[in-house]
């Protein structure tokens, strides 16, 4: 019997733009947040999405969940295009598609108790459950994420940042979703607490059979939880490969630069590694560079990089890379990755 995991989600040719008002009578400017996004996620997989702030990571997550509508393209959930689903039917899909937000305290209603916050999705999305059933489910989920049941009547301001994020995880988990978008869930937490939350997410993924999209600007964080990693820059995919391929043999110069920013605990290796540091600031998505979007910061860029928009090319092993010079670029030394 074929045990190949099915594709839960497919994103095809996704595009999202925003109109930016510049004045009362001025013509609005167009900001391209996402362009030509194509990928799929298999059941039980964790896909990491990385890139600097402003690259479109959170916008992509919200387009997948239909919290904002894309301009073009398809978001296929088990073969059904969510961009064409009526609002009432999409509401029913919310039980399967959940999100964990970046700022744990800001995402929790300060006027509601922990029990009410976690129970709220059940009241909305599973109205057939009785009050006693909802409360029992809330207690089970609290225990699963490491919260004591006696905390059920406390308010969000009584919790630390790590505990508040556990509440957010419990709220996302209580409807038994198939897919959870984790939108930088540990970036607002201390490093020691980050490790606890990452370990918790890994345990919950195995226990509940979850599929995760993990969004972060930090490749060292994504490494611990992701099966595959999608590297995003100025709303375009630069590289998509397994975690091992990204860390051991990065093909795109932007991926290499992000890896260089990952701290190495050994001072000797840190001094020896080949530095591909990012230069300058990320360009404005209102006026992106011609050709390769990364060329203005890439030390390998040539004249033709300004003339040609690199296609997302499929190379060995099925990995994807968008760089016309990737074959010519010398591969980084092992010291770059802390090997």
Do 272 and 195 fall into the same domain?
Answer: yes
C-alpha to C-alpha distance for 35 and 20, rounded to whole angstroms: 17
Do 119 and 203 fall into the same domain?
Answer: no
Within a domain: 268: yes
CB 258 within 8 A of CB 57: no
Residue with tokens 């049941």: 149
Q: Provide CB contacts within 8 A for 139, sequence distance 6+.
A: 149, 152
Q: In degrees to the nearest 10, what's the CA dihedral of 284, 287, 293, 295? A: -90
C-alpha to C-alpha distance for 328 and 302, rounded to whole angstroms: 12
Within a domain: 2: no
pTM of the model: 0.90
Do 91 and 122 fall into the same domain?
Answer: no
Within a domain: 102: no
Does residue 230 carry a pLDDT above 80? Answer: yes
Q: What is the mean pLDDT of the segment spanning 287-315?
A: 93
C-alpha to C-alpha distance for 235 and 252, rounded to whole angstroms: 15
Do 204 and 124 fall into the same domain?
Answer: no
Phi and psi, residue 168, nearest 5°: -60, -40
Within a domain: 143: yes
Distance of CA 66 to the CA centre of its chain: 15
pLDDT band, residue 324 (cuts 50/70/90) = very high
What CATH number does residue 208 fall under?
Answer: 3.40.50.300
Q: Which of 61-65, 131-135, 217-221, 317-321 has the lowest mean pLDDT?
A: 217-221
C-alpha to C-alpha distance for 101 and 107, rounded to whole angstroms: 7
State the CB neighbour count (10 A cutoff) for residue 264: 18
Q: What is the percentage of the chain residues whose pLDDT exceeds 70?
A: 91
Give pLDDT, residue 335.
35
**Count of domains in the chain?**
2
Give pLDDT, residue 1.
47
Among 175, 195, 215, the domain boundary falls at: 175
Do 167 and 230 fall into the same domain?
Answer: no
Do 33 and 62 fall into the same domain?
Answer: yes
Query: Containing domain of residue 16, as a range?
Result: 7-96+177-337
Among 175, 195, 220, the domain boundary falls at: 175
């Amino acid at each position: 019997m074929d045990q190949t995991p099915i594709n839960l989600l497919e994103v095809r040719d996704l595009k999202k733009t925003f109109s930016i008002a510049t004045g009362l009578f001025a013509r609005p400017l167009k900001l391209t947040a996402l362009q030509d996004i194509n990928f799929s996620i298999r059941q039980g997989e964790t896909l990491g999405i990385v890139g600097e702030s402003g690259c479109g990571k959170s916008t992509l997550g919200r387009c997948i969940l239909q919290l904002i509508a894309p301009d073009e393209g398809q978001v296929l959930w088990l073969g059904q295009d969510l961009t064409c689903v009526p609002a009432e039917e999409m509401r029913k899909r919310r039980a399967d598609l959940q999100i964990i937000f970046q700022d744990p305290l800001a995402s929790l209603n300060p006027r509601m108790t922990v029990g009410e916050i976690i129970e709220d999705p059940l009241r909305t999305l599973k109205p057939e459950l009785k009050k006693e059933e909802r409360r029992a489910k809330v207690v089970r989920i609290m225990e699963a994420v490491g919260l004591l049941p006696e905390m059920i009547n406390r308010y969000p301001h009584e919790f630390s940042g790590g505990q508040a994020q556990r509440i957010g995880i419990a709220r996302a988990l209580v409807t038994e979703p198939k897919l959870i978008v984790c939108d930088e869930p540990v970036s607002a937490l201390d490093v020691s607490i980050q490790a606890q939350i990452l370990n918790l997410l890994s345990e919950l993924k195995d226990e509940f059979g979850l599929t995760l999209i993990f969004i972060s600007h930090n490749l060292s964080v994504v490494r611990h939880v992701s099966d595959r990693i999608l590297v995003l820059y100025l709303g375009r995919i630069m590289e998509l490969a397994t975690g091992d391929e990204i860390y051991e043999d990065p093909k795109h110069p932007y991926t290499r630069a992000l890896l260089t920013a990952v701290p190495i605990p050994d001072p000797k290796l840190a001094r020896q590694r080949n530095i591909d540091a990012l230069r300058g600031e990320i360009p404005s998505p209102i006026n992106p560079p011609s050709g390769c979007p990364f060329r203005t910061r890439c030390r390998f860029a040539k004249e033709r990089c300004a003339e040609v928009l690199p296609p997302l090319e499929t190379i060995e092993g099925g990995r994807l890379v968008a760089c016309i010079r990737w074959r010519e670029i010398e591969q980084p030394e092992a010291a770059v990755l802390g090997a």
